[in-house]
Amino acid sequence: MNTNGTNKNFYLILILGLLTAIGPFSIDMYLPAFPDIAKNLHTSIAQVMLSLSSFFIGISVGQLIYGPLLERLGRKKPLYAGLCIYLLASVGCALATSVNSLILFRLLQALGGCAGMVAARAIVRDLFDVKQNAKIFSTLMLVVAVSPIIAPTAGGYVTAVFGWRYVFVILIGINIAILTGVYFLLPESKNPDPNFSLKAGAIVKNFAGIVKHPQFYTYAFTGAVAYGGLCAYISGSPNVFMEIFKVSEKQYGWIFALIALGIISASQINNLALKKYSSEQIIQISLLCQSAVGLTFACLALFSLNGLYITILLIFLFLCCQGFVFPNASALSLASFGHNAGSASALMGAIQMGVGAGASAVVSLLQNHTSLPMAGVMAGCSVSALLLYTLGRKLIVQQASKEAVAEEDVEMMTTL
C-alpha cells in the first residue's frame, strides 16, 4: 500500500475542498449576524441582504476574469493574487462603517475568493480522468458541506459574544491558513501557456466556443438554476427563521447546520449511486424530486400552513436533492474540455453565481414578512432546472445523431 500517495491525495483534496469552500464559508458565517449588522449600521435587514447579492455578483464576474488567467499563467499565480485580494477585502468588511461600504467590500471579497473556486475545479479536471471527476466533486462537496454546519453555528456564537465584526476577523485567519496550505501542499497542475491570448476579443471568442457546446450549456445552466434555489434559501433564511419564527442567532446556526446535513448525506450517497447509475439518470431523478418538494413548500407558504418544523423538513429535503445535482452537473459540464478546463470552469462558475445573485436579489426585493418569497423562488428554480435539463438532453441527442450521420457519410466517401 502506497501510504505517501494516499496522504498526498488526502491533503490535495483537503486543500481543493477548502479553496472551493471559501466562498460558501464567507456567505454562511455572517448570516446569523444580519440583525446585528442592521442594528449596528442603522439600516434594514433587506439592505444587509444586498451585501449577499453583491457577493454573488463578485463571484460571478471574478470567475470570468480568473478563467483566462489560469490558462495563461498556470493555476497557482492567479490563485495567490485572488487570496490576497480576499484578505484585504476582509479587513475592509471588518472595519466597515456603513452598509454601502460593507456591500462594496463584500463585492471585492468575492472577487478575490472566487479564484479558489475556479482553480479547484480546473485542478480536478487537470489531475483526474473524466470517470473520477464526479466522485472527486462529491468528495469536495463533503468538505464544502461542512462549512454550512460549522460556519453559521460559529458565526452565531461569535456574533452573540464578540459582535459581527469578529466574524470577518475569523475569515481573515482562515484565509491565511489556506494561503499557507496552497504554498506548501498544492502542486502546479498546469504549466503556463504563453500562446493563450488575454486580449478581450480572444477571450470572448474562447468563452463563446465553450458556451455553444450542447454538453456544456445543458449541464452548466441546469446546475446553475438549481443552485439558484440554494441561494434563495441562503438569502431568505435569516429573515424567515430569525424574524418570522423568532429563533435566536445561536438557534439559527444549529438549524442551518442541521439542514446542511442534507447536502453532506446526498453527496456521499451520490458516490455509491454512481456505481449503478449514470450521472444523467441521477440528475433527472433528483430534479424531479426537488421540483416536487419546492412546489409543496411554495403552496404551503402561500396559505401560511408551513410551521417551523415543516419548513426545516422541506428545506432539508430540497437540499438533499441539490447534493445529487451539483457534482454530476459539474462533472458533465467540464467533461469535454480537458484542454480548456480553466475557462470552462470559470464560465460554469460565473453562470452559477450569476443566477445565484439574481435569485438572492429577487428574494430581497419580494420581501413581505412571510416565507413565500424564499419558497417561491426555490420552487421556480427547481422546476426551471428540470425543464432546462429535459430540453438540453434532447438537443444533445440530436447533436449526437447529426455527428453520427456525418461520420457515416465520411466513411462512405472514403470507401468509394
Residue 4: the pLDDT is: 57
This prediction has a pTM of 0.74
Burial 133-163 (b: 16+ CB within 10 A, else e): bbbbbbbbbbbbbbbbbbbbbbbbebbbeee
**C-alpha 111 chain-centroid distance:** 14
Residue 410: the pLDDT is: 46
- Which residue has better confidence, 401 or 119? 119
**C-alpha 316 chain-centroid distance:** 17
Residue 413: the pLDDT is: 46
The least confident of 60-74, 300-314, 335-349 is 335-349
Residue 412: the pLDDT is: 45
Is pLDDT above 50 for 295?
yes
Residue 381: the pLDDT is: 96
pLDDT tens digit sequence for 156-201: 889 999 999 999 999 999 999 999 988 888 888 788 888 888 888 8
The Cα–Cα gap between 221 and 333 comes to 9
Question: Using an 8 Å Cβ cutoff, are 13 and 139 in contact?
Answer: yes
> 1 pLDDT band (50/70/90 cuts)?
very low
Give the CATH fold of the 7-188+202-403 domain. Growth Hormone; Chain: A; (1.20.1250)
Is pLDDT above 60 for 240?
yes
Average pLDDT, the chain: 85
| Count of CA atoms in the C-beta half-sphere (13 A) of 38 | 16
Is pLDDT above 80 for 149?
no
DSSP secondary structure string for all residues of 222-263: HHHHHHHHHHHHHHHHIIIIIIIS---HHHHHHHHHHHHHHH
